Amino acid sequence: MSKDLVLFDFDGTLTTKDTLLDFTQFSLGKGRFVKGMLRLLPSMTGLKLGLIPNWKAKEEYLSHFFGGISLEQFIALGKEYGEKRIPQLIREKALSSIIDYRETGVPMYIVSASSPLWIEHWAEKYDIKVLGTQLDVLEGRITGKIDGKNCYGPEKVKRIQENIQLSDFENIYAYGDSSGDKEMLQLATQCFYKYF
């Protein structure tokens, strides 16, 4: 077993942009995306001003764009997004590091505030496991609510500790690019901020 473990944030770290917004536009088209964003302007403004917590703004966003869509359809959209779009967004230096880690057999995890449902299809090609924000599903449909907590900040560390036996590893390498990755970076033996 490898003595090393690698933890990646996804949005902005491995990718050049936020994938929640990009996935929405990819799935629903630019027209519906722009129209929806105009309707969500009050909550987006509240988020930017710190008046609305991140998770609440995210639930309003998900409810508006994806509330009521079948889980089956959402998974299919995530698979298509992983196939066609994510490869265009991955930073070249990040992909090179991923390939190097994979060749040496180092276990890799993406720990993201985004849903694994649009990351996993791409990630599994590189043997990367995904921990992320779980979406609530009722009677086979996305409700737009978050199941549990938004995988952001301290919650990232909680997910890591719940899913990985950290004592099995001597070296933990973590990569992030924002304040939401701070706790995960502090967990590592070596951390890399905006490295790619």
Instruction: Give tens-digit pLDDT for 132-155.
Output: 999 999 999 999 999 999 999 999
At residue 10, the 3 state secondary structure works out as coil
Contact 108, 102 (CB under 8 A): yes
Dump pLDDT digits (tens) for 33-86.
999 999 999 988 988 888 988 889 999 999 999 999 999 999 999 999 999 999
Digit-coded pLDDT (tens) for 84-126? 999 999 999 999 999 999 999 999 999 999 999 999 999 999 9
Domains by residue range for the chain, with CATH: 4-193 (3.40.50.1000)
Give the chain's mean pLDDT. 94
Query: For residue 112, what is the enclosing H or E element?
Result: strand 108-112
CA gap 27, 181 in Å, rounded: 27
Q: For 157-173, what is the mean pLDDT?
A: 94
pLDDT at 172: 95
Query: What is the predicted pLDDT for the residue at 50?
Result: 85
At residue 186 the predicted structure's pLDDT band, cuts being 50, 70 and 90, is very high
CB 159 within 8 A of CB 131: yes
Q: Cβ–Cβ contacts within 10 Å for residue 176, how many?
A: 25
pLDDT at 48: 86
In this prediction, residue 182 carries a pLDDT of 92
pLDDT at 1 over 80: no
Tell me the one-letter amino acid at 69. I
Taking CA atoms, 76 is separated from 9, 69, 79, 147, in Å, by 23, 11, 5, 20
